[in-house]
Amino acid sequence: MSTISVTQFHKVFFEESLEGLDAMETALLALDEGGDAELVHSIFRAAHSIKGGAATFGFPEMAAFTHEAESLLDQVREGRRAIDKPIIELMLRTVDCLRGMFERAQGGQPLADASSEELKRQLAAAVGREVPAPTAKVAAKPAASNGWSIKFRPHAGMLAGGNDPLRLLRELAALGQLVVEAQLDRVPTLDALDPSECHLGWHLTLTGAATREAIASVFEWVEDECDLSIEPLVAAAPPPAPAVETDAAPAGAGAAAGTTRSAAASSNDAGSVRVGIDKIDSLIDLVGELVITQAMLDQFREDFDPSRLSMLQEGLAQLARHTRSLQESVMGIRMLPIGSVFNRFPRLVRDLSQKLGKQVKLELVGEHTELDKTVLEKIGDPLVHLVRNAIDHGLEIPEKRRAAGKGDVGTLRLEASHRGGSIVVEIVDDGAGLNREAIINKALQKGLIKSAEGISDEEVGELIFQPGFSTAAVTTDLSGRGVGMDVVRRNVVDLGGNVAIKSRPGNGTTFTITLPLTLAIIDGLSAGVGDECYIVPLVSIVESIQLPAEAVRSVTGGGELFRFRDEYLPIVRLHQQFGCATARQKIEEGLVIVVEADGNRVGLFVDELIGQQQAVVKSLEANYRRVDGISGATILADGSVALIVDVAGIIRLQARRKAA
């Protein structure tokens, strides 16, 4: 049995502990705003679980660290200490420090560092105790004896506690040679006997090298439920003189355990998703339905008769329905509530607003809105940047707010919602709005625009997304981290979404992020070019038109343009772009699909449109290599492969060609 290794539980321990830390942080922030005692209990519970787990799963430094935090929380929990700002601050730093320890634990690195040791000292000082230094302690050497006389009489109710005296006798027998003599004097007559009570007592003689401690530990659980005496046998040799023992320094033991930790913890970034049991149940239901449908269709294999055609059609329709539902359910497994990303903001907003001397009330709306896990993981950084930005540049300090006739406390709202096939996340502040003049001046200075004449508010908003743009007079360490709004937009666009800005001068700014529900399946239009089939994402398509030959103008350098509404758009011939042969070379023989990305439009020339379909996106990079203008591949109903057109990429390529 010695083969059971606790390392296999590390992953789940890390996961639950990180969740526990999130809960601790949330509760601490709620306490900061005057919460109740239940919050203290939940914080204590989280710390307590981490300590227990850390000790069990082989992280003694973490257990020792958490022990100090737990002691402090215990004082608060028992009302021996009031919870105040400094303690909340200290506990928040503890949460951060533990997160760092978990990160290092996952990487198999040593857990404790200088800052964790310092924090541990501060926690210990707050508890009112010096850091325990290795101390020598005087302990009496257990007295040895060549035998013991034990008198053991359980109280009548001992059996009710689940302790069986026979178990204790068996344990004693394992310590040496045991002679058992039962005391029957208290056994009542049969009519008065209650079988759930214990009426016996024992005189026991144990010979051998057992210590008094070993014997006492057998009775440890029942010492308050029995009369017990343990005496050395009369002929016992005199006990040896007490000796001095030194406790080994606990730090040494900790370091040793740290280095022997298994490497299993370091290779666990495969990622996992927690799925609600209801989602799994619905999947199982659907698979059940599918099996029934399959069985029904199977009948037709043996004996098909044209008279049963309608049944076959019905069966196929059912199959299509179930497959669709199954697809939706499976996609649903990857969907997680955005709340897990929103959770980090209360802390961020608190720290930031304190640092800047601003008062900010954070409102979180629509935390249950679900997003694809991949999108969720990547949306965190852009959101953090926008929130930082809103507090740093958008919201004003209290004096300025008062001067503008607003309340001292600014409001920052993060709101997530479903809108059509997209997820919309809005970051709304009630600050000063965009400073039109400052932005235009900066853009002039950077050469982003030639003159300030006739620039619309919309265009001013767009300017801040230009690379290298920053209006802050002094680059603070908050927003000015070398990351501009252009990076925010690029990150969002990479996820297939977009960011828009709307400013209300004097009343605030709204950033709107639109994201696709999932990255794994897209709705697309399939288009034929020669023998090939290409998928154009439906979201990028403006419209499809057939052009007469005279609508196309050739320009120098070999490009072609056509007039679409009020503008001239370049034509990208897909057969040229991807080098595939087609008989349809003349513009009037094929179709032009007008597509748009980042506000730019081009016309894609294809032979024909095949139809609208959902495409499961497979990575081309992972299976082949990167190809310009292609974002992935998918497998068609007939088993052949179709490439998915990267509209933004094609537009970039087109612009580069034009410039060259």
Partner 1 sequence: MAKILAVDDSASMRGMVAFTLRSAGYEVSEAENGQLALDTAAASRFDLVLADVNMPVMDGISMVRELRARPDYKGVPILMLTTESNTDKKMEGKAAGATGWLVKPFDPEQLLATVRRVLG
Give the footprint of partner 1 on this chain (CB under 8 A): 1-2, 4, 6, 8-10, 12-13, 15-16, 42, 44-45, 48-49, 51-53, 55-57, 63, 159-164, 166-167, 170-171, 196, 220-221, 224-225
579 burial via Cβ count (<10 Å: 0-12, 13-18, 19+): exposed
- Measured distance CA(217)–CA(239) in Å, rounded: 20
Q: Which two tokens stand for residue 335?
A: 């969907």
Please give the single-letter amino acid code of residue 273: V
- CA angle 590–596–600, rounded 5-degree value: 115
Least Å from the CB of residue 226 to partner 1: 12
Q: Considering the complex, state which of residue 226 and residue 443 has its C-beta at the smaller distance from partner 1.
A: 226
Q: Considering the complex, state which of residue 44 and residue 562 has its C-beta at the smaller distance from partner 1.
A: 44
Least Å from the CB of residue 263 to partner 1: 19
Across-strand partners of 563? 568
Instruction: For strands 136-137 and 245-246, give the pairing.
Output: antiparallel
Least Å from the CB of residue 164 to partner 1: 7
Q: What is the DSSP letter of 618?
A: B
- Measured distance CA(43)–CA(39) in Å, rounded: 6
Least Å from the CB of residue 14 to partner 1: 8
Q: Which two tokens stand for residue 468?
A: 């290298």
Least Å from the CB of residue 278 to partner 1: 17
Q: Considering the complex, state which of residue 250 and residue 407 has its C-beta at the smaller distance from partner 1.
A: 250
Q: Considering the complex, state which of residue 6 and residue 233 has its C-beta at the smaller distance from partner 1.
A: 6
The DSSP secondary structure of 565-609, one letter per residue, reads TTEEEEEEEHHHHTT---S--SGGGSEEEEEEETTEEEEEEESEE
Q: Considering the complex, state which of residue 225 and residue 426 has its C-beta at the smaller distance from partner 1.
A: 225
Q: What is the DSSP letter of 394?
A: I
Q: Which two tokens stand for residue 410?
A: 């600014």
Q: Considering the complex, state which of residue 114 and residue 166 has its C-beta at the smaller distance from partner 1.
A: 166
Q: Are 371 and 423 a contacting pair, CB within 8 Å?
A: yes
Least Å from the CB of residue 51 to partner 1: 6
Q: Considering the complex, state which of residue 112 and residue 647 has its C-beta at the smaller distance from partner 1.
A: 112
Total residue length of the chain: 660
Least Å from the CB of residue 219 to partner 1: 11
Q: Name the strand (E) or helix (H) holding 53.
A: helix 37-56
Chain position carrying tokens 């919050």: 39
Q: Considering the complex, state which of residue 169 and residue 424 has its C-beta at the smaller distance from partner 1.
A: 169
In this structure, the number of other CB atoms found within 10 A of the CB of residue 467 comes to: 12
In this structure, the number of other CB atoms found within 10 A of the CB of residue 342 comes to: 21
Least Å from the CB of residue 19 to partner 1: 10
Q: Considering the complex, state which of residue 166 and residue 581 has its C-beta at the smaller distance from partner 1.
A: 166
What are the distances in angstroms from CA 112 to CA 19, 277, 581?
21, 37, 64
Q: Considering the complex, state which of residue 148 and residue 219 has its C-beta at the smaller distance from partner 1.
A: 219
Instruction: For strands 532-537 and 641-645, give the pairing.
Output: parallel
Least Å from the CB of residue 122 to partner 1: 22
Torsion of CA 398, 401, 406, 407, to 10 degrees: -10
Least Å from the CB of residue 221 to partner 1: 3
- Measured distance CA(613)–CA(528) in Å, rounded: 13
Q: Considering the complex, state which of residue 170 and residue 553 has its C-beta at the smaller distance from partner 1.
A: 170
Least Å from the CB of residue 311 to partner 1: 44
- Measured distance CA(405)–CA(421) in Å, rounded: 40
